Structure 1
Amino acid sequence: WEMFNVLDLYAIPDRTHDSGRKGYSVHAIIRALIVKHRERIDSIPRLIDHLKGNPILSELCGFPNGILPDASQFYRFLQGTKHSVFERILHAVNKTLIEKKAISLDTFILDSKPVLAATKENNPKNPDRNITKKEQKPKRNHDATLGYLAKAPGGSSSFFWGYRTHVIVSKEGIALVECTLPNSVTDAEVAKTLIKQLKKLYSFGKGALFIADKAYDVNELYDLIIGRLKCQAFIPLNLRATKTSHPLGEHGRPLCDAGLEMSSDGTFFDKRRRTIKRKFICPNKQSKNHGMACPVNHPKSQGYGCTKYFCEVHTARASVPRDSAHFAREYARRITVEQYFSRLGPIEAEQTTHYKLRTVKNQITIAHLTQSLIALAAVSMNKPESIRCYRTFAHVA
């Protein structure tokens, strides 16, 4: 009940004023869809069965006397409602959380998650499925595109037809802005749009932290975050997109003559050459993980040890101190967005039962809205420590 109590739907007309039958309450349908995502119900028919078996919950949603709309009414509502309607509700809930100081605007984490389209081409038991020819679109899923699923069910890797839901979450694990687009749009392209939307909606200050994985390692994104917004970027290097004539180790540092990954020994800016110079030293002199004897008997192994310098053009991308302890400590916060996607649920964030892109967008946005409502209900009940408790607190709310 508390989730519905904090949900403000006054800006949305409850009923249409066309001629004909009275119809069903729009507010009640929205509340029922929130119940669907809170309870992780995978389809509209099962949602109707769930509400029929819980008449009190049906009354709380706004369906009097247990009279529920047909499944086609829910589908028609999701397909015919503009996506901006659900976006405005989500942003209003988040702004309320910010006013109540439940969300801070100093750290933002970016990521995306695959959304599988409802098509037989995603069925691994289908021997004739198409996961190689991207120009042959699945039937009824004309907006779905072919993408790579790094962690498919069963632990293997595979391709799939569908979309991706992109989010920017706060360090508290609340989605501030989101969008769902076909697979063909890269994470970095969407990130620029989401960051600009984030700035317009919430007006965060300078010095904020943006944390993302190596899929966001592009120069344009660094220029936006560091150059224009005067914020900090914590993004590791994408070594596959880095042209280098030097062999690099697992952590992106150069290898010495003995094949050992060297240790970072600082960075300084060369004003005369307008370049950033990075110094690397012998790992034997820096770490206890290697023996003191040099495997190749380097001439300087008895003294300071071998050294190497890397010179980079002074760009926003090169200014990120990726070898520092501060970078490692802040980048570890990226686990927050992984935990958020886990709470979102494998059904809502990885599988959809709809076909049109607008319907899929509305479905995913309602899933994000449900998480924000759980957080707002927790704050309203003076339980701010429970804003991320999906199961234990959601039933109380």
Structure 2
Amino acid sequence: MKPLPSYWTFDRFIRNLDNALLKKLMQSQVLKLSKMGIIDTSFIALDSTPISANTKQNNPKSFAKNKFAKGNQPKSDEDCGLGVHTASNQHNERNFEYYWGYKNHILVDCITGLPIFEMTTTADVADSTVVLDILSQTNDFLSIEECTFFADKGYDVKAIYNAVKDIYHGECFIPINKRNTKNPKKLSTGHPICEAGLAMHKDGKFSDNGRTRQKYCCPFKRSKSGCCPCNHKNWNNGKKTRGCTKYVTLPDDY
């Protein structure tokens, strides 16, 4: 048996080989498996995995200053990007590390675990920004109509939900990404509670940057004899419109 090619031989082969050939080969294999009934797109999932660049700046034993500064591009790999990788998908996860490199985004068949499509980007590309392209390119050679799409909280973006529902007539199952959002006190009806502990009143809707927002006002706003129990700073402002206000964005997706 002949020995395996050296690392440098393999590296030269990868660099000189047209990536389009590898993509075409993968597509032909996926279509073959689909015709054999081994894989389908009823349940699909997408995730990414980090690929570290071959640079000393990724070496944990390197104590160089600013090795993860955006302007400190590795000389050994001028194409890679600066990314961050967390140990888990918990919203309060603080165990993360920076790295120079790439991301491999892989769409898989959930039942068999076999890959259907892959895309490699630099590490600084957000996972959610490539989803629509991946789904579109996959659908070009293998239909994903009426699929059930799974992903982690990094993909909790409205455009993804709407695309899966409206374009592919499927469903999404993605955990909510809290993104440091506030959680104000509300009644079961959705009315916010003011600082005085009173239910606020609806005061009209308006559109703002493509979203619909519900305005809530102080319950004593139009009262001639009422007085703010907590003496809010906006109550005695000398204006006709008195009291505190809150805004709630109304969801327009499914």
TM-score range, shorter chain: 0.5 to 0.7
**How far off is 1:73 after superposition?**
4.0
What residue in structure 2 maps to residue 164 of structure 1? Answer: 103
- CA gap of 1:232–1:70, structure 2 versus 1, over 3 A, is closer
Give the one of 156, 169, 192 matched to 1:217.
Answer: 156
User: What TM-score do the two structures reach when normalised by structure 1?
Assistant: 0.44
CA distance in 2, matches of 1:197, 1:71: 32
Shift of 1:80: 1.0
Task: Note closer, same or farther for the CA distance 1:147–1:72 as it changes in structure 2 (3 Å cut).
Answer: closer
> Contact conserved, 2:106 with 2:118, CA < 8 A, in 1?
yes
The 8 Å contact of residues 123 and 129 in structure 1, kept in 2 or not, is answered as no
Distance 1:85 1:205 in 2: 26
Q: Identity rate of aligned residues, in percent?
A: 28
Asked whether the 8 Å contact 1:210–1:233 carries over to 2, the reply is yes
Q: Secondary structure at the match of 1:240?
A: coil
**Cα separation, 2, equivalents of 1:247 and 1:238:** 19
- In the alignment, does 2:21 pair up with 1:85? yes
Task: Tell me the equivalent position of 2:252.
Answer: 315
Label 1:173 to 1:146 Cα distance change in 2 as closer, same or farther (>3 A). Answer: same
Inter-partner Cα distance in structure 2 for 1:212 and 1:95: 23
Equivalent in the alignment of 1:184: 124
Q: Which amino acid aligns with 2:134?
A: L
Higher strand share: 2
The gaps in structure 1 that reach 5 residues or longer are 1-54, 59-65, 249-253, 258-274, 276-310, 320-397
1:246 is paired with a residue of what secondary structure? coil
Q: 1:141 aligns with which of 77, 80, 86?
A: 77
Contact 2:85–2:96 (8 Å) recurs in 1: yes
Distance 2:114 2:101 in 1: 24
Q: Indicate the RMSD between aligned Cα atoms, in angstroms.
A: 2.7
Residue 201 of structure 1, aligned match among 127, 141, 159:
141
- The superposition leaves residues 145-201 of structure 1 with CA deviations (integer Å, 9 ceiling, x where unpaired) of 11112129xx95321111111011001101100011101111111111101011111
Structure 2 unaligned spans of 5+? 89-93, 194-211, 213-247
Q: Which amino acid aligns with 2:160?
A: L
TM-score by length of 2: 0.67
Give, in whole Å, the separation in 1 of the partners of 2:18 and 2:178.
41
| TM-aligned CA distance change 1:156 to 1:183, over 3 Å | same
Q: Summarize the alignment of residues 33-72 of structure 1 with structure 2, pairs less than 5 Å apart.
A: 55=1, 58=2, 72=8
Distance 1:313 1:82, change over 3 A: same
Please state whether the residue corresponding to 1:197 is helix, strand or coil: helix
Amino acid at match of 1:78: I
**Aligned residues of 1:117 and 1:141 also touching (Cα < 8 A):** yes
Quickly say closer, same or farther: Cα 1:74–1:205, change in 2 above 3 A.
same
Partner of 2:32: 96
In the alignment, structure 1 residue 246 sits paired with structure 2 residue 187? no
Q: Compute the displacement of 1:77 (Å).
A: 1.9
Q: Kindly indicate whether structure 1 or structure 2 has the higher relative contact order, using CA contacts under 8 Å at least 6 residues apart.
A: 1
Structure 2 equivalent of residue 124 of structure 1: 60
Partner of 2:174: 235
Deviations 1:200-248 (A, max 9, x none): 1101322x10011111111221221112221101112111165x45269
